[in-house]
Amino acid sequence: MIPLIDIRRQTAAIRNELDAAIARVLDHGQFILGPEVRELEARIAAYCGTRFAIACASGSDAVILPLMALGIGRGDKVVTTPFTFFATAGAIARVGATPVFVDIDPSTFNLNPQQLEVGIDSNVKAIMPVHLFGQCAEMTEINEIAGRHRIPVIEDAAQAIGAEYRGKRAGTLGLCGSFSFFPSKNLGACGDAGMITTDDPALAERLKMLRVHGSKVRYRHELVGMNSRLDTLQAAILLVKLGHLDDWTERRRANAMAYRELLAAADVVLPEDKSSRHIYNQFTIRVQNRDEVKKHLAAAGIGSEIYYPLPLHLQACFKGLGHRAGDFPESERAAKEALSLPIEEGLTLGDIAAIAEGVTSATNGALKKFCGRGDV
């Protein structure tokens, strides 16, 4: 068996460090926003290259809180991609705003900046690109358009801790960056956890207030916030894992290189790496007979997953936006062709060879093309 993700293998390798970190928290008893939270914020800010990092309870909250801090709500619009995890558009709807979708670049799965300006009008109050699967969106073009319209950019970097774009880390490429430490992420907690990075001191202060019910002084509330405090235990666990993150990421990148060699003969399209450092939260291929390939791998004991089978504009909860099939063809095509393979750092070359052999045998000569753009 080769599972898509085996968190237990990673945990076992650093169990003694984790046990010691958890014990320290149990000993001092500061379970909410304790000293480990403050240390994690400082270390994540340094790791990403920002002045501030603000911890929160989940990756979803890390997207909601910046929207709240910017005062975005009913009557406002936020531009984003329809091909991503639900939390991106869900956060926009949660604050009362309307998600405005822009189709993806088929070579990267990320928001296509060439179509971005079509979605902008006077009610658009933010642009939220997603660094999907660990690769940064084309931020130079996105920021140029955003700057021309004086619209802030919130990076949804949930899957991109440590990713780089033209030498700059995810989380430094917009007004702020939102990270998730869900257990399956490259840097994963043992539960939910999130972080927001920014260089803006006023925004950082507002975010800190909003995560504790809008309060700076106890029982005095300047804003209507929410309860999004990070548990100290999760911060302690993340501090341990942060010390291993770069090594784990480089092993993922090596696994991706091995896939590229071993899948050269397969009738699939490999992920295109346009960033200076793709961190491969997922290694996602495109294949026309995707569902058959997934079944074939499962029969061989190999895990895989479809991220994501239904674009957001076709989700039942967004029916009121009035979208129909065909509105965002590249996102819809990706939903039919994308398949994520095991990529985590604990895989052996033998594992990757077995997975590649399974994919190659399953494609059975499926037409090898790349959405009219040529092969990778």
Over the stretch 217-270, which tens digit does the pLDDT of each residue have? 999 999 999 999 999 999 999 999 999 999 999 999 999 999 999 999 899 999
User: CB within 8 A of 7, min separation 6: which ones?
Assistant: 183, 184, 188
Whether the predicted pLDDT of 70 surpasses 80: yes
Whether the Cβ atoms of residue 363 and residue 267 lie closer than 8 Å to each other: yes
pLDDT band (50, 70, 90) for residue 288: very high
Whether the predicted pLDDT of 91 surpasses 70: yes
Q: Give the separation between CA 255 and CA 246, rounded to whole angstroms.
A: 14
| Percent of the chain topping pLDDT 70 | 97
Per-residue model confidence as pLDDT tens digits over 159-168: 999 999 999 9
The pLDDT of residue 236: 98
Whether the predicted pLDDT of 369 surpasses 70: no
The pLDDT of residue 367: 32
The pLDDT of residue 68: 98
The pLDDT of residue 274: 77
Whether the predicted pLDDT of 142 surpasses 80: yes
Q: Give the separation between CA 303 and CA 253, rounded to whole angstroms.
A: 19
- Name the average pLDDT for the chain: 95
Give me the phi and psi of 277, to 5 degrees please. -155, 95
Whether the predicted pLDDT of 376 surpasses 90: no
The pLDDT of residue 275: 75
DSSP state of 229: P
Ordered DSSP codes for 233-275: HHHHHHHHHHTTHHHHHHHHHHHHHHHHHHTTTSSSBPPP--S
pTM for the complete prediction?
0.94
3-state helix, strand and coil shares in percent for the chain, rounded to the nearest 5: 40, 15, 40
The pLDDT of residue 276: 82
β 176-180/168-169 pair status: unpaired
pLDDT band (50, 70, 90) for residue 272: confident
Whether the predicted pLDDT of 42 surpasses 70: yes
Whether the predicted pLDDT of 310 surpasses 90: yes
The pLDDT of residue 250: 97
The pLDDT of residue 368: 38
The pLDDT of residue 364: 62
49 CB burial (10 A radius; 0-12, 13-18, 19+): middle
Give the DSSP H/E element, type plus range, for residue 347. none
Whether the Cβ atoms of residue 200 and residue 176 lie closer than 8 Å to each other: yes
Per-residue model confidence as pLDDT tens digits over 182-207: 999 999 999 999 999 999 999 999 99
